[in-house]
Structure 1
Amino acid sequence: MALSKSLTTLRGTGLMLNIVIGAGLLALPGMVVEVAGHQALWAWALCAIVAAPLLLVFVLMGMRFPDAGGISHFAQKAFGRSAYSIASMIFLGAVVFGLPAIALTGGHYLAEAFGGMPSVYAFGLVIAAAGSHLLSTEIAARVSTAIASIVLISLLALVLIGLSVVNWSGADPNVTPLSQIELPVVFAPFMMIFFAFTGWELAAGLSEEFRNPERDFPRAMFLSFIAACLIYFCMAFVAQSVPISGSYKAAFSSILTLAVGEKGRVIMGLLAGLIIYANLLGAIWAVSRMVYALSREGLLPLRLTTTSSGTPLSSVLLVSLALLIVLGFDYAGLLEISHMLELAGQNFLLLYGLSGLALLKLSKRLFDRLVAGSTVAIVVTLMLLQGTSVLYPLCLTVLGVVLARLRSQSTPAARSVTVA
């Protein structure tokens, strides 16, 4: 059954911004300042420049092959079933670190406001988000819909508040002149920042729902990219220009405190907790359904179980357990939020490269092939510069190939679906 073609340029732009601009941005500006200091703004600029041609791949794929399946569909269309499995494993490998990092973002803000350990608050946020799904799918949908735009609205408000407390007479020295930047310093937080430039791979799946995909879809993609970059640069500039008295991972607590006093930490803590809860609610929803679909197709050895309200119980529990295990590593001091963001960012970057290869295979147009080739070259160069961290996506690639082959060798078997 065909999807409803209800999206226009403006509607699509708004929807894409809601997908792309996530709760992780509450932590990233301060964390980048901690790493790159007065050169932080240039690190954001570098990432935006690199992301632009990668975005163009999704624009072209969405125009040429509009489909709700996004990257996985593009990969399967170009390279077959194994590529679908590989793309799915790399995506799951990204979210299993990206979502705990988002939960920890809320944890750091709540710890700034009320004291305690950020990982403990993060545990609570994951459990609360998962619990909402287990209670009722309808309730989860209503909550998610009611606060779908709260992240974007809150970040815009924080940008305005932050700009109002910047000491403009002394702001210029806080940004290193272009002639004095050091590339190793600027490049150091690249993979961490790239996490903020992910989401357009999901937005590519909206192409099928545009009234005029060839005209409105690329406009929405480019407008959302420009708007997101403006928000990112403003937040990065504010974090770089306002003294941070507390944790760099909760920089906007300090910024809001400068604006409204000490109660600003409590306000920011509660606001961040709500934003992260909403973000996790939607993310666990999406990822659990993906796990359910992969299990139903035989790619994951998971017994399918649904509740009477239609919630994929086993998938929600599995996804939540994976997130809690990663948070457990943070609690034990074995993993930092910055490393989680780097691992998630590099996996998404690899998916961008896979999309470039798919476009190179599927399109015979010269312009498309030039864009695709440039994208693949950029991704390969960046991945090589990351050194041993490439081992993680390589392991996921091998896992994807193995699962695809096991699936192809097995006979179609009955898959048990029970009602809890």
Structure 2
Amino acid sequence: MPQGVALYVGAVLGTGLLVLPSLAAKAAGPASILAFLVLVLVSAPVAATFGALAGRHPDAGGPATFALRAFGPKTSAVTGWWFYFGTLAGMPAASAFGAAYVTELVGGGRTTTMALAAVLILIAIGVNVFGVHLSGRVQLVLTGFLTILLVGAVVLAAPKADTANLQPFAPHGFAGVATAISLLVWSFTGWETVTHLAPDFRKPKRDMPLATGISILIIGVLYLAVGGMTILVLGPRAGETQAPLAAMLGEGIGTSVRVVAAVIAVVVTLGVLNVFVASMAKLGAALGRDGALPRWLAKGSQSGDVPRRSLLVVTVGTAISFLVAILTGFELEQALRAENACLIGIYLVAMAAGVRLLPSGGKQRWLAVLATVLVFGVLVLAGWYLLFAAALALGALVYLKFSKHSGAGAAEER
């Protein structure tokens, strides 16, 4: 269970923490604190529903399995594709967050950042070659170190906080807050990732909800502390810096802290990549087993197995994503919002599955209903980026239609 908390915190308290407080401040000014608060409040019932579903239905498919049991193979395939391929598309962005801090320290441009980002992903892949149990122990160390660093950053910067920096509070009105929320969605995704690892918990029904509850508390406090302190310490400059944590620490210590900031960035990035690689590998095996991807991938979907075939596909897919990013010109914000649209779609399907699968009349069912309504409200903010999610959904349905190993047949086999 402690490893579960570490995996959750590492997945959700992710690389967005390195840059997104600045982008949110640019969009909404001090009112970006409201965006953080809204997403913390939305996350609580969403995370609780994921924990309850994973505890009752532990399977490497995660949300795709919830969708299969609630709505059938087509919805399951779409949900799986959203995570598997949507996350692959966003891997260069996720790793570039931390790599940018290191580039700031050692010097270099975009090429250096992309090369460092690739190295960070290769480390995460290397850890996962040995299975999720080693991955979980590594994550425990990374998350403990990260929590100490973040608390230290907030405490050191606190003496420089100035409430005058809260004015004007909402220079761009509600539209600015809405934009900040759509950007910060990335910072609050990750609850779905650990559900893919539920079968590897000793007692999923007990440990998953407990790990989720502890993680909600830790993540909510740290996000509000870092987001709020960024505004209070940096003021108008919060929306101008590309490294808000480094700038905040610099104000608190009064000297250059690029080394400390780079260490934090690397720890955060490795933590996120470690969890996402583990989850994607397990999911790919489950999708192969259920017919949403080639049957060749199915090996490794059972508890304790290492899905090395799926991990190979994740490695190749990530390499392709990097190549596309390099050839087309890397736009961080656009890549994030496209992946966010897929993740919000996963959340909406999973919450709706919770309404159908969790015991009627109980607290968990009502939390699932509330979470469904809240996630739908966030989905509307995705705008045109939903077209990317729609394209992946179409691809999943076309694959099912022409695949010999159909999703329905796989479901019957199970």
Give the TM bin, normalised by the shorter chain: 0.7 to 0.9
Of the three residues 300, 324, 336, the one matched with 2:331 is 336
CA contact (8 A) 2:61 2:283 kept: no
Distance in 2, Cα, partners of 1:250 & 1:390: 29
The alignment status of 1:186 with 2:177, answered yes or no, reads yes
Of the three residues 346, 351, 356, the one matched with 2:351 is 356
Alpha-carbon offset, residue 258 of structure 1: 3.3
Superposed CA deviations along residues 137-173 of structure 1, whole A, max 9, x for unmatched, are 34998688446532452244233233322345x5222
Distance in 2, Cα, partners of 1:99 & 1:288: 14
Distance in 2, Cα, partners of 1:188 & 1:133: 33
Of the three residues 319, 322, 332, the one matched with 2:320 is 322
Matches within 5 A, 1:20-35: 20-35=12-27
- SS state at 1:248 partner: coil
Which deviates the most, 17-26 or 85-94?
Answer: 17-26
Superposed CA deviations along residues 171-216 of structure 1, whole A, max 9, x for unmatched, are 22233598999322211121221122222223345655364825x5
The alignment status of 1:404 with 2:395, answered yes or no, reads no
Matches within 5 A, 1:15-414: 15-118=7-110, 120-127=112-119, 129-130=121-122, 133=125, 137-138=129-130, 145-146=137-138, 148-167=140-159, 171-175=162-166, 182-205=173-196, 209=201, 211=203, 213=205, 217-243=208-234, 244=237, 248-260=241-253, 262-273=255-266, 275-277=268-270, 279-291=272-284, 294-295=287-288, 299-300=292-293, 311-312=308-309, 314-328=312-326, 332-333=328-329, 335-363=330-358, 365-367=360-362, 370-408=366-404
Alpha-carbon offset, residue 245 of structure 1: 8.6
Q: CA RMSD in A?
A: 3.8
CA contact (8 A) 2:8 2:212 kept: yes
Alpha-carbon offset, residue 232 of structure 1: 0.2
> Where do 5+ consecutive residues of structure 2 fail to align?
300-305, 408-414
Distance in 1, Cα, partners of 2:380 & 2:8: 30
Please identify the structure whose Cα radius of gyration is greater. Answer: 1
Distance in 2, Cα, partners of 1:155 & 1:326: 34
Distance in 1, Cα, partners of 2:229 & 2:42: 23
Alpha-carbon offset, residue 378 of structure 1: 3.1
Distance in 2, Cα, partners of 1:164 & 1:282: 29
Shift in CA distance, 23/173, structure 1 to aligned 2, threshold 3 Å:
same
Distance in 1, Cα, partners of 2:78 & 2:231: 39
Shift in CA distance, 152/193, structure 1 to aligned 2, threshold 3 Å:
farther
CA contact (8 A) 1:107 1:118 kept: no
- SS state at 2:243 partner: helix
Alpha-carbon offset, residue 383 of structure 1: 2.4
CA contact (8 A) 1:125 1:276 kept: no
Per the normalisation by structure 1, the TM-score is 0.79
Residues paired across the two proteins, number: 396
Superposed CA deviations along residues 356-375 of structure 1, whole A, max 9, x for unmatched, are 22223334614555544443
Amino acid across the alignment from 2:242 = K
Alpha-carbon offset, residue 20 of structure 1: 2.6
Which deviates the most, 285-294 or 350-359?
Answer: 285-294
Which residue of structure 2 aligns with residue 3 of structure 1?
none
Alpha-carbon offset, residue 228 of structure 1: 0.5
Distance in 1, Cα, partners of 2:74 & 2:39: 30
Superposed CA deviations along residues 79-126 of structure 1, whole A, max 9, x for unmatched, are 222222111111124312432222111232123222322453233332
Distance in 2, Cα, partners of 1:179 & 1:339: 24
Distance in 1, Cα, partners of 2:123 & 2:157: 39
Distance in 2, Cα, partners of 1:111 & 1:230: 29
Distance in 1, Cα, partners of 2:360 & 2:253: 56
